[in-house]
Amino acid sequence: DAGVIQSPRHEVTEMGQEVTLRCKPISGHDYLFWYRQTMMRGLELLIYFNNNVPIDDSGMPEDRFSAKMPNASFSTLKIQPSEPRDSAVYFCASSFRGGEPQHFGDGTRLSIL
Amino acid sequence: QKEVEQNSGPLSVPEGAIASLNCTYSDRVSQSFFWYRQYSGKSPELIMSIYSNGDKEDGRFTAQLNKASQYVSLLIRDSQPSDSATYLCAVISDNFNKFYFGSGTKLNVKP
């Protein structure tokens, strides 16, 4: 079975540009999570969806960040405008149910110059 | 106080020894507990799940849960250099609406 698929794997862009990260969860998983990982702050939950509905976005750092899940097989995380402090690895994860373990994609390594 | 606390390490053990990794959590009604392994530059990989008090064994790995004391641990027997990684503890609340990861413990297994 295919795992969680994220694209792109690497993104380098200049400050002020719009960045869109994409995620395809494992088929049949009801929960989708977006995380950000840095050396300083570790793994931070940004937002999660249940059945395509955003449930908790309290981890989204500011209004520059937005996430959507238009259907069960696709989600996006958008940063507009991007800033150098947004540089991090962004992971998408999905789980079958809320109490089940999360399965992570390979991540997107984002560098904002 | 963080919801999930782990010693950042590094924890160094010789090859063949038992590595003991610990995690404490603050939400008393947490229900689901997981250990993930993360190699440098890679994504977290699930290695153990535990849901009830006691021990759960899977090969060289044993997860231990004590809800009364609010800690969960991971033992790695016969540690191998390939076990060198960062180990993340994850906790889910009982109503499945809160998800917490610890900051991870870095394990070094020396040949």
Q: Can you read off the two tokens belonging to residue B103?
A: 């900051």
pLDDT digits (tens, 9 = 90+) for A19-78: 999 999 999 999 999 999 999 889 999 999 999 999 999 999 889 999 999 999 999 999
Given a cut of 70, the residues of chain B with pLDDT beneath it are: 1
| Residue ranges of chain A whose CB lies within 8 Å of a chain B CB | 33, 35, 42-43, 45, 48, 55-56, 91, 97-107
The answer to whether B51 and B68 have CB atoms below 8 angstroms apart is no
In which element (H, E) is residue B107 found? Answer: strand B105-110
Question: Chain B closest CA to A64's CA: distance in Å?
Answer: 23
CB pairs under 8 A between A and B: 47
Q: Partners of A23 in the beta sheet?
A: A6, A75
Res. A97 pLDDT band, cuts 50 70 90:
confident
DSSP B82: G
Cα separation, B86 vs B105, in Å, equals: 5
The pLDDT of residue A2: 84
Interface test with B, best of A44, A102, A109 (most B CBs within 10 A): A102
The pLDDT of residue A1: 63
| Residues in chain B closer than 8 A to A56 (CB atoms) | 97
Whole-Å CA distances, A49 to A30, A57, A112, B58, B76: 8, 9, 26, 31, 34
